[in-house]
Amino acid sequence: MPMQKESTLDISRRRLLQGGSTALTGLILSSWLPPLVSKSVAAEAATAGRLGDQSIDGFGAFVRVGHDSRVTVISPKIEMGQGMQTGIAMMVAEELEVGLEHVTIQEAPPNTALYADTLMQFQATGGSTSTRYTWEPLRRAGATARILLVQAAALRWRVAPSLCRAENGRVLGPNGQNASYGELVGVAATLPLPTEVPLKTPEQFKLLGTPARRLDTPSKVNGKARFTIDLQIPGMLVASTVTCPVYGGRLRSVDDQQARKILGVRDIVRLENAVAVTASNFWACQQALKALRIEWDLGANVSIDSAQLDEALIEASSRSGVIAKREGDIEQARQQSASQFEAVYEQAMLSHSPLEPISCVAHVRPDGCDLWVGTQVPVFAQQTAARITGLPENKIQVHNQLIGGAFGRRLDFDFITQAVAIARQVDYPIKLIWSREEDMTHDLYRPLYADRLNAALDQQGRPIGWEHRIAGASVLARYIGSLPSSGVDADAVEVAVEPIYHLPNLQVRYIREEPGVVPVSWWRGVGPLRSTYALECFIDELAHNAKADPVTYRLSLMERQPRAQAVLRLLAEKTGWGQPLPAGQGRGIAVSAVFGSYVATMVELEMQGETAFRIKRLVSAVDCGLVINPTSVTAQIEGGTLFGLSASLFNEILIKNGQVQQTNFHSYRQLRISEAPPVEVHLISSLETPGGIGEAGTALIGPALVNALFAASGKRIRRLPLSRMGYYPV
């Protein structure tokens, strides 16, 4: 099958996303849905017909085999620490019958037709979709290549293909014949694609499910790995910016006389809402930025403070909003109830703050533009560069890079836009680097949320009616431009509309409340993080109010959820749930189905005084379906859980006079090794379709922690982070 040319796939971002907005909704709800496209374009394009072709245009979408037998896997997913590329290599290697040591990973260029994630309908890394999406097409690509190589060998040896088999990078014939993939690839590349591509069943797996070393790590322990911020392009200068401290503000004027005198400074570039300095090094940039005398038009947001935002949100959580889900009759349930219980849970605004600050290398020429950047959205990177430069998209090359932490930050391309806007004003490549202060104060933030839950209860304190109102800014609307006509943000209500509990007369309302003072965006855990926190805290309160054991109470409401039950039971067993603890100590749990996986987490903690506590134990039980690389799964649960712990304990972005108050790690606290308990992870062996795991741990720790705090102290905290309420770890 010939490769489709990119020019025929000129789908603008807006059109793509608007056209696909229900599909994008599907992405968010995808934990519950089969992939919308069973056989992707990409899988078909995984054309072994181009196996040996080394040219950029001609390579197979996912797999390329060189004449030296080396296998290159083109990864549609970027590596940002989650171990995804190793997982993808394993999927291909399993079917292609090669050892992982023969596989090299290469980042896919932007190409919606080839690399769009069928769960999200666009080419991106995020939403814990990577394994779920690649699981089928990548294995199929490997199997296709193997079939063609075997056919090529069979032709050479004049035997039936069925008599040949592939093993460890070679094809073996019935009479001891033996040829390497490299020898066969020339012929294999001319053969028609097979119509049937059977895949291995789990019991045939040799590689999948076994612990594998990550492919990207050796260069990360000796300083050789280059992240975007490390790149050196010939003729390149470093650029750095100071952007208007208030979102929505504009540059009025700048006096750059002093800045220009600083050694190494080349240009001062004015942008609509920022000033950039280019210089031979970052230090000179920073000195020059400090020497600029800038006047801003701070705009309308300058009058906004956090207290106003909090108040407005609490008020919003009582409004009706729009119905996201309605089952049964909540009013009737209330009339029949023995009692009602209501609580509001608040969650803070959060910054991503990955340790690699924002950086992007851009070179704009009259005839083209190159971007070297670690991005979760290469197609958007290409499109924004095309828009800023006026060049056609096929003239924009995106060279995706290793990412030094993203957590959702690099799903946005604001900084790529800025880099291109600077680069088009100079005639040399620039490497834009934001200082940590710029990074933290010009993030796109996880919005504030208020969840108001109200349960109608029977005599035993079990819910017979359930209303969940979710108030907050819509990330989805900001990201794709608008919400579908229903007015429901599918991300914001995920989990809430499909809880693992059997909740009769369920009503979920979504209330969009846009503070507008800062842009909002995806943050590790996305909608499920928010919903799980509110839901799992509330259910815990109901259990305690009913004087029931929190595990038993939950189990009694999840009769139709065998996988959720299993993780909860495993967790209870592994943690000695129910065994008495001394006064001042307590255990808390949370359980949820998130990103296609089932996770239950327990925190055991000990109070030391009124507000100090020590986490004694942190345990997770996980069913993420079939496990590709158990090492990565465990590592993601560990890291994701502690990432969430950091946020639950400390993280909060505050606004004063329209400006973000947290500027660096001295005011935006992060968990450190001395505060990080070991995370015990127990995996359930499963043959179910692989689920996402990168964000699952993050979503569960908050409620488990707060529930444990209640168990130990009797104090129910409904607002995160705990530090705001005076709590701190010792």
Partner 1 sequence: MQTLMINGQSRQVDVPEDMPLLWVLRDVLDMTGTKYGCGIAQCGVCTVHLDGQPIRSCVIPVAAVAGRQITTIEAIDETAVGQAVQRAWLEHEVVQCGYCQSGQIMAATALLQNNPMPDDQAIDTAMAGNLCRCATYTRIRTAIKSVARS
Partner 2 sequence: MKLTNILLAFFTGTLVAHSAQAQEDLIRQGEYLARAADCVACHTVPGGKAFAGGVEFKLPFGSLFSPNITPDKETGIGNWTDDEFVSALQKGVGRDGKHYYPAFPYTSYSKMSRDEILTIKAYLGSLEPVQQAARENDIGFPFNQRWGMFFWNLLFHDDEQFQVDNQRSTEWNRGKYLVEGPGHCGECHSPRNLFQAVSSDRSLAGNLIQGWNAYNISSDPVHGIGAWPTEVLADYLKEGMAPGWGVAGGPMAEVVEHSLRHMTDADRQAIAVYLKNTPARSEGVARPAPTTMTEKGDDNALGRKLFADACASCHRWDGSGNQSLAATLIGLKTVNDPAASNLLGMLLSGHGSRDTPVDRRMPSFGTLYNDQELAALSRLILSRFGNNEAHVSEQAVAKRRTESLH
Give the binding site for partner 2 (CB under 8 A): 290, 609, 611-612, 661-662, 664, 666-667, 669, 672, 674-675, 723, 726, 728, 730
**Binds partner 1 (CB under 8 A): choice among 176, 224, 367, 609:** 224
Q: In the set 197, 229, 572, 653, which binds partner 1 (CB under 8 A)?
A: 229
**Between 111 and 648, CB nearer to partner 1:** 648
Considering just the CA atoms, what is the radius of gyration of the chain in Å?
27
- Residue 217 contact among partner 2, partner 1, none, beta carbon within 5 to 8 Å by kind: partner 1
Q: Which one of residues 168, 178, 190, 232 is an interface residue with partner 1 (CB under 8 A)? A: 232
> How many residues lie near partner 1 (CB under 8 A)?
61
What amino acid occupies position 361?
V
Site for partner 1 in 341-360 (CB under 8 A): 353-357
CA distances 241 to 185, 264, 269, Å, are: 49, 16, 9
Query: Of 438 and 541, which CB lies nearer to partner 2 in the complex structure?
Result: 438
Nearest-5° Cα angle at 693, 687 to 696: 120
Minimum CB distance to partner 1, residue 544 (Å): 30
User: Which is nearer to partner 2, 174 or 726 (by Cβ)?
Assistant: 726
What are the DSSP calls for 170-215, one per residue? Answer: EEE-TTS-EEEHHHHHHHHTTSPPPS------GGG-SSTTS----S
Residue choice 55, 234, 666, 685 for contact with partner 1 (CB under 8 A): 666
Give 394 or 611: the residue with its C-beta nearer to partner 2. 611
**What are the E-state strand segments in 316-395?**
322-326, 339-347, 359-365, 368-373
Q: Residue 100 interacts with partner 1 (CB under 8 A)? A: no
Among 213, 211, 204, 193, CA closest to 94: 204
Q: Could you please report the per-residue DSSP string of 580-597?
A: ---TTEEEEEEEEEETTE
Considering the complex, state which of residue 227 and residue 428 has its C-beta at the smaller distance from partner 1. 227
Is 676 a binder of partner 1 (CB under 8 A)? yes
Contact present, 698 and 590 (Cβ < 8 Å): no
Does 322 contact partner 1 by CB under 8 A?
no
Q: Identify what 232 binds: partner 2, partner 1, none; CB under 5 to 8 Å per kind.
A: partner 1
Picked from partner 1, partner 2, none, the partner binding residue 723 (CB below 5 to 8 A depending on kind) is: partner 2
353 binds, among partner 1, partner 2, none (CB under 5 to 8 A by kind): partner 1
* Residue 236 binding partner per list partner 2, partner 1, none, with a CB distance cut-off of 5 to 8 Å that depends on partner kind: none
Using CB under 8 A as the binding rule, whether residue 282 contacts partner 1 is answered as: yes
Q: Which of 82, 129, 273, 585 binds partner 1 (CB under 8 A)?
A: 82
- Structure-block tokens of residue 646: 């950091």
Q: Which is nearer to partner 2, 428 or 728 (CB)?
A: 728
For the chain, what is the largest distance between any 2 Cα atoms, rounded to a whole number of angstroms? 82
Q: Which residues contact 479 (CB under 8 A, 6 or more apart)?
A: 17, 411, 521, 522
Q: What is the DSSP letter of 254?
A: E
Q: Does residue number 392 form part of the binding site for partner 1 (CB under 8 A)?
A: no
CB of 666 to partner 2, least distance (A): 3
Please check whether residue 383 is in contact with residue 12, taking contact to mean a CB–CB distance below 8 angstroms.
Answer: yes
Q: Which of 279, 281, 276, 280 is nearest to 292 (CA)?
A: 276
CB–CB of 338/526 below 8 Å?
no
C-alpha 699/C-alpha 325 separation (Å) is 22
CB burial readout 299-325, b (16+ within 10 A) else e: eebbebbbeebbebbbebbeeebeebb
Cβ nearer to partner 1, comparing 385 with 705: 705
614 binds partner 1 (CB under 8 A): no
Dihedral Cα 273, 124, 93, 87, nearest 10 deg: 80
Q: Does 404 bind partner 1 (CB under 8 A)?
A: yes
Per-residue tokens: 232: 């050196």
Q: Which partner from the list partner 1, partner 2, none does 612 bind, CB cut-off 5 to 8 Å by kind?
A: partner 2
722's contact among partner 2, partner 1, none, with CB below 5 to 8 A by partner kind, is none
CB 542 → partner 1: shortest distance, Å? Answer: 31
Q: Which is nearer to partner 1, 657 or 667 (CB)?
A: 667
How far apart are the C-alpha atoms of 29 and 22, rounded to whole Å? 10
Question: Quick one: 306 or 375, whose CB is closer to partner 1?
Answer: 375
Binders of partner 1 among residues 624 to 653 (CB under 8 A) are 631, 635, 638-643, 645-646
DSSP strand pairing (728-729 vs 265-270): unpaired
Site for partner 1, rule CB under 8 A: 80-83, 213-214, 216-218, 220-227, 229-230, 232, 238, 263, 280-283, 353-357, 402-407, 433, 435-436, 631, 635, 638-643, 645-646, 664-666, 670-674, 676, 678-679
